[in-house]
Structure 1
Amino acid sequence: MVWGRLVLNKTLLNELMLETDEERGILRGDKAVNKEIYTNLTSDFIIQSEKFLKDDLIMIRKHPRYIDFPKHSHDYIEMNYVFNGQFHQKVANQSMTLRQGDILLLNQHIEHELTACKKEDIIINFIIHPAFFDYILSNLSTGFIQSQMIHFLMNSIFDYNQTGQFLYYPVSDSIRIQEIMSQLLEEMFEESILSKSKIKFLMGLLILELIEQQKQTQQNNFYTEKHTFLTEVFRYIEENYREANLQALAKQFNQTAYWVSKQVKALTNQNFKDLVQEKRLLVAKNLLLYSELSMQAIAEEIGYENISYFYRIFKQKYKMTPKVYQTQLLKKE
């Protein structure tokens, strides 16, 4: 089995060592990053998911070598994986060197700048829409809830405090994690009918393995009393989003609804109602794509009896009606 994995990795390395069109342009003399590949914005350098994801939730691509990347952020979650060599970058003004097998997760609000990779430095970028993690988060057992990863995912999904965060995992010695990464890259090249589904399942498994790795290797001092409070709030929303209300949540804390509301607003800069609505709309998006429920049934499933109100808040959030959104997604699929 070890031999088979080595052969697979050697084959993948040979494929990934080949220059892409972007890399060939750099070698011909392009001295600056072609920002048109990454963003339509002309001011801040924010790499846009629409350039890569379209309507998919995950996209895998090789990071271009031979050129420095200036300071930038993303409107998605990015995962860096060092398949071969090393990767030098500055994350939130903190210099880091990732070694072969290491993984780095960055949320939408953090900036980083990247040193040019050499020929042997093969870095894989996973471009992940925050909505992908909604299903994972909602199915984690309560034993995982006090996790740095969970806090990262909640901040990314709910976008509640716009704080730049990153998680670093030196996991080169984890056979299980390296096997999952190899399988993900194999599906990246396979491009079969089932590849997109396999990638989603493998990514979910990878997140669970990283959570388990963290539990085994470090004591988690990340959570203050405020973070613990916020974790309980989000867990309540995950489990009760259909009928979630502030009074029921306040009862869990043995506090008044006013006190809980004030704490939520102070910690997230959003109202409790807004957080519940965000969760409901994420569920609605999944139902639009993966179920055959009517619009009325979907509205009721997420807690809205008034379908007109559901249409109004959906369009306000996603700039199109649920029906148009569903039609576009199904065409892509």
Structure 2
Amino acid sequence: MNYKEIDGLLRGYTSHEKEYLKNVEFVPELLEKISEMTKDDFINNSLNSNVYFPTKNINVEIDFKKHSRFNYVAEHKHAYIEMSYVYSGKLKQIINGREVMLEKGDVIILDTNVKHETFAASHNDIIVTFLLSTEFFKRNMFQFESSNFISDFFLRSIFESHKYNRYLLLSMAKDNQFKHLVLSLINEFVDPDIETDLLKEYYLYILFVELVRRGEKRQEILKENEVNSEEYTYFRITNYIKEHITDITLAKMAKDFGYNTNYMSQVIKKATGHSFSEFVLDERLNISVHFLKKTNISIQEVATKSGFSNMNFFYHKFKERFKITPKEYRKGIE
């Protein structure tokens, strides 16, 4: 299918959408304000059937769906990673109790186990969603050489989702190449051909590379402007820890940030979802993976350069997280 045909397919009504729309048309005045209606508004107007309670999990590594319009999606969470792209219009969600408005060109990636609910979409609100298993991420995300808050998010989604419950929101509205990649990926789902599964993985990997590149540019903007935001705080913390990974202490970090240790601990916990010691351990393990992949130095040197002074502790924590030893990991990528 060409892009025009895919556009027509996305804007057309599915059988579910036709049913939801039919229900709302019995109360015509509601259609104009449907995107602002809460779950209770639907129920109070006898539109219970337009409130969807998701229960389905995916049994494949990659799946695709178009977000249904004219219905409210009740609060839920799931064991896979969800990436949505606003192809047209807008959409309002509540994520971890916080209202988030998505505009055309926005990309939002929800980690596993993130509680979220979605307001109803109207006629022009077209949102496409890709459902990704953690197994897919494990196989593909280790290839990233760049390290920023986006690549960090992907890596943590694989191993630490039960501790983070985070999401990423980026605007790709001015990136036509990203839009065309999304449409090409959709085409592999709706009009499959030879080697479709392989192309799905390739397109997804390229999409994530584009997002990581956007993350690099975003970090530079944050660094230049020093925006007082959660995103910038996370950026400062991760960069500092990486730069001082071999000898970092909470006391030294607090002093360099101009905080006392208790407040520094609170800032780290709020920004990362982890305690200082947990977050430093994660960073050291991530750095050790980089050395194992990109260098031929001994595993002893890998441990030392990653900030581990005790080899037994390094082996224990590495295997606990990655389910294999450092030696086995290196052998597996040769």
- What TM-score, normalized to structure 2? 0.66
**Number of residue equivalences:** 255
Aligned to 1:122: 126
Residue of structure 1 in register with 2:49 after alignment = 31
Residue in 2 that maps onto 1:14: 8
Q: Which 5+ residue runs of structure 2 have no aligned equivalent? A: 24-47, 224-231, 242-275
The runs of at least 4 consecutive aligned structure 1 residues that moved more than 3 Å come to 7-10, 27-30, 32-35, 226-229, 237-241, 244-250, 258-261, 300-303
Q: 1:1-333 counterparts in 2 under 5 A?
A: 8-29=2-23, 31-35=49-53, 38-39=54-55, 47-50=56-59, 53=60, 57-141=61-145, 144-145=146-147, 147-159=148-160, 162-217=163-218, 218-219=221-222, 221=232, 222-223=234-235, 224=237, 225=241, 227=279, 230-237=282-289, 240=292, 249-253=302-306, 255-257=308-310, 271-277=317-323, 302=332
Return 63-72 or 19-28, whichever deviates more: 19-28
Offset of residue 97 of structure 1: 1.5
Superposed displacement of residue 235, structure 1: 3.5
Given that 1:49 and 1:74 are in contact with CA atoms closer than 8 Å, whether structure 2 keeps it comes out as no
- Report the AA paired with residue 287 of structure 2: R
When residues 302 and 63 of structure 1 are mapped into structure 2, their CA distance, relative to the original with a 3 A threshold, is: same
Greater shift after overlay, 123-132 or 8-17? 8-17
Could you say which residue in structure 1 is the equivalent of 2:27?
A: none
* Cα-to-partner distance string for 1:26-65 (whole Å, 9 max, x where unaligned): 2344624454xx42xxxxxxx5223xx3xxx211110111
Cα deviations by residue, 1:221-280 (Å, 9 ceiling, x for unpaired): 424225565334123236549xx999665422455328966xx9xxxxx94321131699
Relative to structure 1, is the Cα distance of residues 254 and 207 closer, same or farther in structure 2, using a 3 angstrom cutoff?
closer
Which ranges in structure 1 are unaligned for 5 or more consecutive residues? 1-6, 40-46, 265-269, 284-299, 304-333
Deviation for aligned residue 1:150: 1.7
Q: Partners in 2 of 1:151 and 1:62 — Cα distance?
A: 28
Alpha-carbon distance in 1 for matches of 2:94, 2:285: 33
Contact preservation (8 Å) 2:284, 2:306: no
